[in-house]
Chains A and B, each alone.
Chain A
């Protein structure tokens, strides 16, 4: 028997280890910690873990809830095979990724520009900072309806504005064409989400010490050099947070599509989440819907992981 184990048995203070009273207290603290987080963990398991496991189970079974009496038998990877051999799914995946890249790039550039503007000192800055959050606070369904009205070819503001400015497109039925419908959706999406990116980046900008810029200025750095060599690298953590959130939101886009285009014209604006809604709530096919959901989760994790990998601060 070693000296340490003898000491432990005799409850003697061990050499170099923590005093026993501190150890007991730490153990008790740990238990209290577990108890305190338990409700939150339980809640998360209920609202996130359970649906995930339930979807995973469904995705390997034949579960069509409107087909009374049909056995919910194990079908292996049939739902997944069907998914990736259905042209509709593959096309929706390509559309969703396209929308995600275009909207996130545009929104990030606009959000960064807005954040840089709001970071400067000017009269009424506080009020403007609060005001830009209004679009973000508007529920997506409301903003989508608002933009549907704005893009109305008869009474909408967009065609009217283009008309009085003598710009092309003033006679456009925006939601009737594939690319014009996407343009309208991206504009509506940007209106709502640019403020979100701007506020996160603004918080990041405020964490950059002013004397860094001062030193750069003394060293003769131009505004562009300061931005390129200091602002952007130091903004990386905030940019990563904004990109992870916005990219995943864009990848899972549903409500704005559902309201503005209904997936049309034809099926040209149907995204993966739209197909998922259709599988679950129109077809009540929980097996196929579960396979779409699990695919969405996997791709989301890959996207989030990829962004973190690329954007993580390097030491």
Chain B
């Protein structure tokens, strides 16, 4: 005991030791984090992405090409969650902590306005990006208050898939989608549903709704949500479940992967989904293989063919000390050659109209249809409070798809909440 005391290891020393250890660990961590320039002058940057499988492999391939073209830059890939909500949270935690890593990141089309307003990502206009080369709707998704915060990487227009062996002529109106689905279900008992769509309580339900609403003259305008067009679109989806019975109630648990499986397995005559379904159906032997049509959702009189803009963009961390290297990576990844290679390998549609070349169309003819859909693709609200708006919309759609609320009542209830959230005056500040 005496010897222990003689060494001066009193409680205060224990505290001091703990503090010193913490400080030392923090210092080592900081030193490691802020030492991406090696003695040889090589810079190391980190690129955050959510891609797994073929997308992840293709990103790795592109990064290897970039490093070969830029020997002074090494890129570490940080693979975050494939779930978009979790991915966003993982990024936000880093931003909030003031982390300079990742230097450059993949961003859903709905994030840049929020990132820009929060000051988390760098404003990119100083690099004078050639924005005219991209599809304009996706460029708009990367801007907030007239400034550009993200560059389009790939462009994912959601549309209507149909089985060409069961539906000989593509439907021209929403009513024809219903009658074609019913006829197909009667003709082919193997079909389990006329149409499959994303109905789970998540972001995909909003894109499914956004795909349909334009066809009825609706629009996801936070200031004016409860419109005739939106009511008609939501009623069409509700009726698909409970009146026309061309969709099963199981859609309330379906995300795009489930919808893809249903169409791929030959269970559905129609499916609302993203272009990747084309390549995934072609990859597996099944009743749908070789019988896939892909169109915008057919319009009612007064509407326009419907498609929702999905897609991914690239942004630079505001705290990075390697902005120039990060921007070089963005330029490389959004070059026509690299986007074309990605489109062929993964089915991710290029964000550059110029990339829809004969080479691409020869390798994957369905990109012709994707190019058409891109003309109609409508963005979701570009608003820094989009996540709160999304939360309101998800609750509304989930209520309707589960038959807890009727479309008109659900829209009337959600409209003021969405309006308040868009203005930043909603409950909980948001």
Additional A-B contact list (7), CB under 8 Å, known A42-B15, A68-B119, A175-B252: A66-B117, A176-B252, A262-B201, A266-B405, A282-B387, A283-B428, A288-B429
Which residues does chain B contribute within 8 Å of A88, judged by CB atoms? 427
A278 interface residue, CB < 8 Å from B?
yes
Nearest residue, chain A, Cβ from B14: A38
Residue B182, interface by CB 8 Å:
no
Q: Which of A28-36, A106-114, A117-125, A212-220 contacts B (4 or more CB under 8 A)?
A: A28-36
Q: How far apart are B206's CB and chain A's nearest CB, in angstroms?
A: 13
User: Is B235 located at the chain interface by the 8 A CB criterion?
Assistant: no
How far, in angstroms, from A288 to B201 measured CA to CA in the complex? 23
Residues in B with CB closer than 8 Å to A48 are none
Q: B14-54: which residues lie under 8 A (CB-CB) from chain A?
A: 14-15, 18
- Is B398 within 8 A of A67, CB to CB? no
B245: min CB distance to chain A, Å: 13
Which chain A residues border B424 with CB–CB below 8 Å?
Answer: 67
Give the chain B neighbours of A31 by CB distance below 8 A.
5, 10-11
Q: Give the interface size bracket for B toward A.
A: 35 or more
Nearest opposing residue in chain A for B5, CB measure: A28
Pick from B4, B248, B396: contact of A32, CB below 8 A: B4
Are B252 and A66 neighbours in the complex by a CB distance under 8 Å?
no
Residues of A within 8 A of B430 (CB): 64, 283, 285, 288
Contact of B253 among A39, A173, A268 (CB under 8 A): A173
| A267/B395 in contact, CB under 8 A | yes
Query: Cβ of B429: which chain A residues have Cβ within 8 Å of it?
Result: 62, 64, 283, 285, 287-288
- Interface residue A177 (Cβ < 8 Å from any Cβ of B): yes
Q: What 10 pairs across the A-B complex have the smallest Cβ distances? A: A265-B402, A266-B399, A264-B201, A68-B119, A176-B252, A288-B428, A264-B398, A283-B430, A262-B201, A173-B249
Whether B223 sits at the interface, judged by CB under 8 Å, is no
Whether B402 and A66, one on each chain, are in contact in the complex, defined by CB atoms closer than 8 angstroms, is no
Chain B proximity of A186: nearest CB distance (Å)? 18
A282 in contact with B388 (CB, 8 Å): yes
Known: A35-B10, A88-B427. A28 touches B249 (CB 8 A): no
Closest to B421 in A: A283
Chain A CB within 10 Å — which of B89, B192, B399, B427 has the most? Answer: B427
**B270 CB within 8 Å of chain A:** no
Chain A residues with CB below 8 A from B253, complex form: 148, 152-153, 173, 175-176
- Residue among B119, B120, B428 having the largest count of chain A Cβ atoms under 10 Å: B428
How far is it, in angstroms, between the C-alpha of A121 and the C-alpha of B307 when the chains are bound?
66
Some 26 contacts from A to B, beta carbons below 8 A apart, are A25-B1, A28-B1, A31-B5, A39-B18, A66-B92, A67-B117, A68-B118, A153-B248, A153-B250, A153-B253, A154-B192, A173-B252, A173-B253, A175-B252, A175-B253, A176-B250, A262-B201, A262-B202, A264-B201, A265-B401, A266-B399, A266-B402, A278-B428, A281-B89, A282-B89, A283-B430
Report B112 CB to chain A, min CB distance, Å: 13
Task: Give the residue among A28, A284, A287 with the most B Cβ atoms within 10 A.
Answer: A284
A210 to B118, CA, bound (A): 67
Q: Point out the residues of chain A lying under 8 angstroms from B74, CB to CB.
A: none
Instruction: Let me know if A135 is at the binding interface, CB within 8 A.
Output: no
**Within 8 Å of chain B (Cβ to Cβ): is A255?**
no
Asked if B404 is at the interface of the complex by the 8 Å CB criterion, the answer is yes
Interface string of A252-281 (1 = CB under 8 A from B): 000000000111111110000000001101
Question: Nearest-CB distance from A255 to chain B (Å)?
Answer: 13
**Interchain CB contact (< 8 A) of B114 among A35, A66, A152:** A66
Judging by beta carbons under 8 Å apart, are B404 and A178 in contact? yes
Residue numbers in B under 8 Å from A32 (CB-CB): 1, 4
Q: List, in ascending order, chain B residues with CB within 8 A of A42's CB.
A: 15, 18
**In the complex, what residues of B have CB within 8 A of residue A148's CB?**
253
| CB-CB under 8 A for A39 and B427, given A65-B96, A264-B201, A265-B252 | no
A206 within 8 Å of B (CB atoms): no
Per the 8 Å Cβ criterion, residues 401-430 of B in contact with A are 401-405, 424, 427-430
* Closest chain B residue to A148, Cβ basis: B253
Partner of A284, one of B85, B96, B252, B396: B96
Please indicate the chain B residues that have their CB under 8 angstroms from the CB of A66 in the complex: 92, 114, 117-118, 120, 384
